[in-house]
Structure 1
Amino acid sequence: MDPMSIYPDHDTDPANAASEPPATRRYRIEGMHCTSCAGELQTALRGRTEVESATVDFTSGLAVVEGRLEVDPTLQVIASRGFRGEFLEVREDLAETRSRMELAQARTVRMWKRRAIVGIGVWIPLEILHWTVGHGVEWVPWIMMLGGLLVLVVAGGGFYASAFKAARRGGTNMDTLVSIGATTAFAWSLIVFTAQRALADPGTWAGLPLYFAESAALLGVISLGHFLEAKASARASTAVRDLLELQPEVAERVDESGETTKVPSSEINVGDVYLVRPGGRIPVDAGVLEGRSEVDESLVTGEPLPVPRGPGDPVVAGTLNGNGLLRLAATVDGRNTTVARIANLVQNAQSSQAPIQRLADRVSSIFVPTVLSVAAAAMFGWGFIMGDWNTGVVSTVTVLIISCPCALGLATPMAVMVGAGEASRRGILIKSAASLESSGRLEAVVFDKTGTLTVGRPRVTRIDFVEATGDETFIVAAAAAAESGSEHPIARAVLEEASRRGIEVPAAQDFEATPGEGVTATVDGRRVRVLRDEAASCRVEIDDAAVARFFIDDEPRDDAAEAITRLRAMGIDVRMLTGDRTESARRIGRMVGLADGEIIAEATPDSKLEVVSGRDRRTAMVGDGINDAAALAAADLGIAMAGGTGAAIEAADVVVPPDRVTSVPDAIHLARRTLRTIRQNLFFAFFYNSIAIPAAAFGLLGTSGPLIAAGAMACSDISVIGNAIRLRRSLARERQAGIEAARRANATADAA
């Protein structure tokens, strides 16, 4: 396996990216308090004509902007909404990236922790004071007022600043609800407090309770909820952080004289020679020059067993060397390793939005104005109609607090972050949240044969030469020369046959490949064509005359039958679609458990496209070749084997390890679990709000309503966060069990 083939080469220089529109740029955003902050910034970015698409994810704190809007104007838009933005360059030191991620997350956690400590730390003593010595003691209300004011300033400052910025732009957000709720509770208490002391005969004012402690409790408990969100987000994003931590910060570079020097991994350039000692991690993608060892790639590719590596083999940054000393030559620079690109893709997937999130976004966009209307109706309904302004104030504050839809905004991104991160740990790369959702909805899977269900190393089993065609050696040499420019497995088989026969392959000119048909080239001045053939795997023509037929066959992958069995057990319809001969396709199909009716053979790229796009069920196409690219792009979900061509990988939505067909059911199972968690989270959020808001508006929660509301809102957030954490732990246990099972099976095989 060559894990470095997972990603085609690409230009990662940010200077070039900035000058060649449209470009996709990522920004770290600080200062967002809730999902509505992310939605507000996302709307502002999408409102710029230079922006083609923009997504802002509160959970990861990332904004991804695609279009012609340069960095500085983008940062200005971010700043105009009251947030701090930082452009994330693609080519940057991994240690620096990791440090910045951890610092940003730590700052957010500390901020909410500080506010929660102030709010709850003041509220609890105030409540104790009120219920122990408060009744009839003149100075206690003063202490409660000053304590509430302290919390309003310290813990509420951020909420007020965010709400004010939204109001200045004519909008509202979640902080608007919190700010109005806390202010209403405090202001009403201040009115009651003043009336009780200023009026000669307080009358009904004398018996009204004060809510200074409750206003402090609101801000403290809500800050506690945000603190838990920040901690959970940091835990959920460990997949990216773990990937970034895999690459060691120091490499042992070898100079021309053979001397070794320890240098930062980021300073390694293409072609540099370096050593990796036994037990050390490989710092940069490289090829082995000298030495043999077994390399543990499990944390990068998901391969559970160590892989033998020797001269000529590729190794990947972040993988763990076994007992051998390896002398390596870097194939990329230290800032553009496979593990860095994987981390980048995973982060993009985690910060993207799933289609199911649009429902939550639509609800959230009208939620705050609706809640403000309900709160106003509760206030004036109780005040004017029932003549009970105290209950009106309590009901209003309770509605404002209990309806904060933070859980609604967290429902999808928390689960997506967990799902995409866990997939990366299994060597499965899901390019976006939309791809993750599509994977979870699949009803059918169509497999390509060669290189997907089979090992992709076909060999020539027979050559039928046409009589009186001349030199058979030249025919094989000419066919190999014509195929030398092709990536197709048949081309490799023809070249290997020439090598096996000891035939020197001449140079070819005017190479041309026609997907689904074959190749044409000029060899020693003669026109050579290697074409698909109905009777054999391919036919060789020289100067338009058929001279030979090559019969080529392949073997199924060891886990292909298991993968198909697992897919069927999941209720998924399975088909095989191949351009190979019917006889060969059926032989492989029977070996992996497919009936003849489930096999479509002798398909061209166009007919593959028609088959995939014409199905009335949600269908995934799994392939690895250039002739699969169109079908991969047309399918509801394209899944590419990582060892395939760049065209196939670019067209796919999901990339799985090249030597494990069982990664396909793994990916679908993981996506289904994630999608089920998203649905559960959305149900919790909608159910909570649909029950809580009417109860609050009708005063069913009593005088302790604001405090109950703050606790209930925090519990709603915690239920969503806890569900995502449960998913992460469950998937981690599944993954570990799979690794242990593979190791036991390998040990049993070795013992036998």
Structure 2
Amino acid sequence: MDNEHHHHPGPSETDSRVGDRKTGGSGSRFSVEGMHCTGCATGLQSSIAALPGVEAARVDFITGSAEVHGEVSAETVLRSISDGGFKGGVLAPAFDLQETRTRLEQAQSSSVRLWRRRAIVGLGLWVPLETLHWTLGGAGHAWMPWVMFLGSAIVLVVAGGGFYASAWKAALRGGTNMDTLVSIGASTAFIWSFVVFVMQQSAAGAESVWTDRPLYFAEAAALLGVISLGHWLEAAASVRAGAAVRDLLELQPDEAERLGPDDTVELVASRDLEIGDHLQVRPGGRVPVDGTVIDGRSEIDESLVTGEPLPVNRAGGDPVIAGTVNGSGRLVIEATVDGRHTTVARIAELVQGAQSSQAPIQRLADRVSAVFVPTVISIAAASVLGWGLLAADWQTGIVSAVTVLIISCPCALGLATPMAVMVGAGEASRRGILVKSAGDLEAAGRLERVFFDKTGTLTAGRPILGPVTLLPEAEATGLDRREVLRLAAAAERGSEHPLGRALVSAAAAEKIESPPVSDFTAIPGRGVQARVDGRRIEVIRDERATCRVVVDDHAVATLDLVDEPRPDAAEAIDRIRDMGLEVIMLTGDRQTAAEEIGGRIGLHDSEIIADASPESKLEAIAAAGPHTAMVGDGINDAAALARADLGIAMAGGTGTAIESAGGVVPADRVSSVADAVHLARRTLLTIRQNLFLAFLYNSLAIPAAAFGLLGASGPLIAAAAMACSDVSVIGNAIRLRRSLARERRTTSGERVDG
């Protein structure tokens, strides 16, 4: 028996010492070897999720891994993996770039190799058998049935061993899976043919009714060979469709040049780099880790990470991102993260998580699949009994039952959503857009309206200080413009808000030194307060100006800050409107300032909500109804981002905003929001097309098979049709990938020309 179906050599093996380990709050990771389709992953995920103590589980077919959260021992999880017919091992808790790349390459190459061998054995024996059958026939050739019997038996062992092992494991758990249908179908055809063969070879049966009955040995071999061919094509297509994760994993170089105290160069693995290491990046080389330039000047190509086609200048003090390509200058950088937690690693982990997550639309397919196999087995049994008892034609009943079992295999149903999600999330990452889950991708495809924050989202978020108006209280307390700016800038020094950064920059430009600060507090939607030189300083919102400076409860000045719209803000608004979506700008700024910016980017006054606090932003999102997105970048946007059906954060925003969002777009391209919606709509359309193809195929094929409309060659036709249904779903996903890739290349070319 071919046990390789669920037992491949892999990077991790079960450790007998893991029995006492518990999965923590951050989750434990396991390798899973032997999954040959998304149905395997879905079934195993359900089994693990049902274990006592498991809070959440996710099984990733693409990388052959599982992540489990909850209070459950690793030994229990590994036993569940083994009971499912797979081989499991414990992985490091943290996402490891090189380990993931190695496992991904091994899993994909192993799957392709395994199914290729089975297909070659199955089809390689079936073709000559079928040729002999049609050319020589059975009459006068007593050896012919023996050849057919032996050839078919070899195919059942070599090509069918994996199907039988999987079906047997499922049966031991009291369940069924897709392999159950294939196993029962092939076995029924073979056993029926074996009974006929034995009766024909016996003396008692030489003149009986068994003499003219046909044998289906060749068909049993054919259906295993053809189904294996379908899985081979599926595995090869999955390699192409999942190229985005592999491309990301290959961005970070395996090795880096680390500089010693005396500038000696040491070649080390990039995964072993630590914060503070000084690294040399030669011209044309890839940056091995996120860091800051401390020596040299060059142009950096960040297109593969950010999607921006134009190189950017980098010199001392500027940040660089792992995986980007150095231009013509030598750089020395200081690592700001270790080699396992680079931007590339985080992006790859997010993309992998999105590709392996389940979209809500997939639940329909899962509900159908849950009852599909038992229902099909019942239909097959009814076909046998119906033809045998009502028409007295047991042979046609057996053939019809085998045809039903084979043609009903719901692989296409299981592939419909994951293949499209894999393509959509992967293409988004190539454009610098991160989608955290398949649910977020589906939500983006169903949007009806988009709310935008203003500062840092539709505007550059780099306001400059405008007029400073001293109030009567300033003169009474002996404060002039310079002193007010000194106190306000000091209070804002710890703020992440763009307005605070503008005050700090203005004070630095006027060479105003910042005094020590204590008791700093940021109040979302209101401002900041701190103690400076023993005084309580507040920089808070004002009804008539951008903000008001309050010293010891005395309002001493108002400040106006001027911000500029992003260059592509108007384009983003127009594109989203052209998609039929409502656009609303939601800002905490004053009405007049908001309307001034809104007018410059094409927004009507009715599309602007100003003077919004975090609470009122949250209320606006809640009142807007379903299918609503919020785009923001600050702490004061976090609640609204979390409340919206889809939160989209700007990559340059605060960590709180990014954590609250379901998607992240490049910091300098708000027009990527329109790209994200477009990608999601194309992906959702492809999912619907795939589900339609899968449901249509099964709804038409099963009745035709049950009523014997496919004739004596029904099992063979069923095997070919099932393989074609898988390929049609996969092919539709590949078509989406190529179409989106052409769009991306065209858009990138236009941006460079512009």
TM-score normalized by the length of structure 2? 0.95
State the shift of 1:91 in Å.
Answer: 4.3
State the AA in 2 paired with 1:54. A
Matched, 1:621 2:625: no
Deviations 1:337-396 (A, max 9, x none): 110111111111111100011000000000000000000000011111101111111100
In structure 2, the partner of 1:554 is 563
In structure 1, the partner of 2:430 is 425
Distance 1:581 1:329 in 2: 42
Rate the CA distance shift 1:416–1:43 in 2: closer, same or farther, 3 A: same
State the shift of 1:287 in Å.
Answer: 0.2
Please identify, of 254-263 and 621-630, the stretch whose mean Cα deviation from structure 2 is larger: 254-263
State the AA in 2 paired with 1:732. A
State the AA in 2 paired with 1:170. G
Distance 1:20 1:215 in 2: 45
Matched, 1:99 2:74: no
What SS does structure 2 have at the residue aligned with 1:547? Answer: strand
State the shift of 1:621 in Å.
Answer: 0.2
Matching residue within 697, 714, 719 for 1:710:
719
State the shift of 1:201 in Å.
Answer: 4.2
Deviations 1:75-132 (A, max 9, x none): 2221222211233325465333312211121111111111111110000000001111
Matched, 1:210 2:210: no
What SS does structure 2 have at the residue aligned with 1:85? Answer: strand
Matched, 1:152 2:149: no
Matched, 1:471 2:475: no
> Taking every aligned residue pair, what percent have the same amino acid on both sides?
64
Distance 1:261 1:487 in 2: 38
State the shift of 1:526 in Å.
Answer: 0.8
Matched, 1:534 2:543: yes
Matched, 1:324 2:333: no
Alignment of 1:737-748 (within 5 A): 737-745=746-754
In structure 1, the partner of 2:440 is 435
Contact 2:545/2:590 (CA < 8 Å) preserved in 1? yes
Matched, 1:398 2:403: yes
Alignment of 1:316-465 (within 5 A): 316-465=321-470
In structure 2, the partner of 1:8 is none
Contact 2:388/2:397 (CA < 8 Å) preserved in 1? yes
What SS does structure 1 have at the residue aligned with 2:353? Answer: helix
Q: CA RMSD in A?
A: 1.4
Distance 1:91 1:38 in 2: 21
State the AA in 1 paired with 2:172. R
In structure 2, the partner of 1:505 is 514
Matching residue within 110, 113, 124 for 2:113:
110
Distance 1:404 1:617 in 2: 36
Distance 1:210 1:81 in 2: 34
Matching residue within 114, 129, 138 for 2:132:
129
Matching residue within 624, 629, 633 for 2:642:
633
Distance 1:47 1:223 in 2: 31
Matched, 1:139 2:143: yes
Contact 2:83/2:173 (CA < 8 Å) preserved in 1? no
Distance 2:462 2:22 in 1: 43
State the shift of 1:190 in Å.
Answer: 0.9
Deviations 1:229-281 (A, max 9, x none): 11122222211111111111121111111222222212221111111111111
State the AA in 2 paired with 1:455. A
Rate the CA distance shift 1:675–1:26 in 2: closer, same or farther, 3 A: farther
Please identify, of 83-92 and 502-511, the stretch whose mean Cα deviation from structure 2 is larger: 83-92
What SS does structure 1 have at the residue aligned with 2:215? Answer: coil
Rate the CA distance shift 1:313–1:111 in 2: closer, same or farther, 3 A: same
Rate the CA distance shift 1:682–1:607 in 2: closer, same or farther, 3 A: same
Contact 1:63/1:351 (CA < 8 Å) preserved in 2? no
Deviations 1:312-358 (A, max 9, x none): 11101100011111111111111221101111111111111000110
Deviations 1:684-733 (A, max 9, x none): 00000000000000000000100000000000000000001001111111
In structure 1, the partner of 2:319 is 314
Deviations 1:513-539 (A, max 9, x none): 111111111111111111100010000
Matching residue within 556, 569, 590 for 2:599:
590
Matching residue within 635, 657, 668 for 2:666:
657
What SS does structure 2 have at the residue aligned with 1:503? Answer: coil
In structure 2, the partner of 1:575 is 584
Matching residue within 97, 117, 123 for 1:120:
123
Distance 1:28 1:733 in 2: 35
Matched, 1:54 2:62: no
Please identify, of 133-142 and 71-80, the stretch whose mean Cα deviation from structure 2 is larger: 71-80
Alignment of 1:249-260 (within 5 A): 249-260=254-265
Matched, 1:679 2:704: no
Distance 1:692 1:59 in 2: 29
Distance 1:516 1:380 in 2: 72
In structure 1, the partner of 2:200 is 196
Deviations 1:593-616 (A, max 9, x none): 001110001111100000011112
Rate the CA distance shift 1:19–1:295 in 2: closer, same or farther, 3 A: farther
Rate the CA distance shift 1:345–1:93 in 2: closer, same or farther, 3 A: closer
Distance 2:752 2:43 in 1: 49
Matched, 1:695 2:725: no
State the AA in 2 paired with 1:112. W
Please identify, of 75-84 and 379-388, the stretch whose mean Cα deviation from structure 2 is larger: 75-84
State the shift of 1:200 in Å.
Answer: 4.8
Contact 2:459/2:564 (CA < 8 Å) preserved in 1? yes
Distance 2:712 2:438 in 1: 43
Matched, 1:186 2:194: no
Rate the CA distance shift 1:44–1:704 in 2: closer, same or farther, 3 A: same
Contact 1:195/1:202 (CA < 8 Å) preserved in 2? no
State the AA in 1 paired with 2:744. R
In structure 2, the partner of 1:80 is 83
In structure 2, the partner of 1:748 is none
In structure 1, the partner of 2:7 is none
Distance 1:388 1:39 in 2: 39
State the AA in 2 paired with 1:123. W
Distance 1:23 1:485 in 2: 30
Distance 1:533 1:21 in 2: 47
Distance 1:268 1:343 in 2: 18
What SS does structure 1 have at the residue aligned with 2:41? Answer: helix
Distance 1:127 1:58 in 2: 35
Moved over 6 A (4+): none
State the shift of 1:19 in Å.
Answer: 7.2
Rate the CA distance shift 1:435–1:92 in 2: closer, same or farther, 3 A: closer
Rate the CA distance shift 1:238–1:200 in 2: closer, same or farther, 3 A: closer
Matched, 1:525 2:530: no
State the AA in 1 paired with 2:327. G
Contact 1:91/1:336 (CA < 8 Å) preserved in 2? no
Distance 2:286 2:59 in 1: 35
What SS does structure 1 have at the residue aligned with 2:624? Answer: coil
Distance 1:33 1:328 in 2: 44
What SS does structure 1 have at the residue aligned with 2:712? Answer: helix
Distance 1:270 1:45 in 2: 37
In structure 2, the partner of 1:237 is 242
State the shift of 1:295 in Å.
Answer: 0.6
Q: Count residues in correspondence.
A: 729
What SS does structure 1 have at the residue aligned with 2:688? Answer: helix
